[in-house]
Amino acid sequence: MQFDTMPHVILSGAAKLREAFDQFSPFRADTNGWIIKIKNIFISRDDSTLMVDCTAVRSGFSQDFYIRLEAKDNRVTVRVDPYMRIERNEGVQRTIAALAAWVQTFSGGMTFEKSNIVSEILADGGLQGVTAAGAGQ
């Protein structure tokens, strides 16, 4: 399934991106026929942006991309890096939802503000069947 707009999630509240970066561990989720791999993470010098190296795989189709988490004005935007030209499919949406849920675990009080991602994906945080990335790669 292809989507017309670039999927994103906006969270409100103070982000702790440095803490998320410091505690990052690669992970993988098998959900709704998609294998989502979160492989590596990079942080900007001023701790305001995370870049996350991701892969989404389904039925032989594999797509590598970066998700950007940007903190600005007491908000965090989670979206595909704007320089990426990728298919805007369910795997990308699940990856964005998963990373939005993940960053919230480091930022108590951070709340969901809005998104254009399908509500069923947001409901489970994009994650089901999460394992450490080394298992079954």
Q: Is the pLDDT of residue 100 over 60?
A: yes
Tokens of 62: 């594999």
Kindly report, residue by residue over 74-95, the tens digit of the pLDDT: 999 999 998 888 888 999 999 9
Q: How far apart are CA 115 and CA 63, in angstroms?
A: 22
What pLDDT is attached to residue 121?
Answer: 84
Residue 134: the pLDDT is 46
Nearest to 50 by CA among 78, 28, 29: 78
For 35-74, the pLDDT digits (tens) are 999 999 999 999 999 999 999 999 999 999 999 999 999 9
CA 6 to CA 55: how far, in whole Å? Answer: 17
Q: Which residue has the tokens 């499919």?
A: 89
Strands of the sheet with 34-43, listed across from one edge: 111-115, 8-12, 75-80, 61-72, 49-58, 34-43, 27-31, 130-132
| Amino acid, res. 2 | Q
102-119 tens-digit pLDDT:
999 887 788 888 998 888
Q: Helix, strand or coil for residue 42? A: strand
- What are the tens digits of pLDDT across the range 122-135? 876 655 544 555 43
Which pLDDT does position 42 carry in this prediction?
98
Task: Look at the block and give the residue holding tokens 């409901």.
Answer: 123
Over 60: is that where the pLDDT of 1 sits?
no
Three-state DSSP class for 26? coil
Q: Which neighbouring-strand residues pair with 131? A: 28
Whether the CA torsion 72, 76, 81, 85 is positive or negative: it is negative
At residue 13, the pLDDT reads: 93
C-alpha–C-alpha distance, residues 99 and 52, integer Å: 9
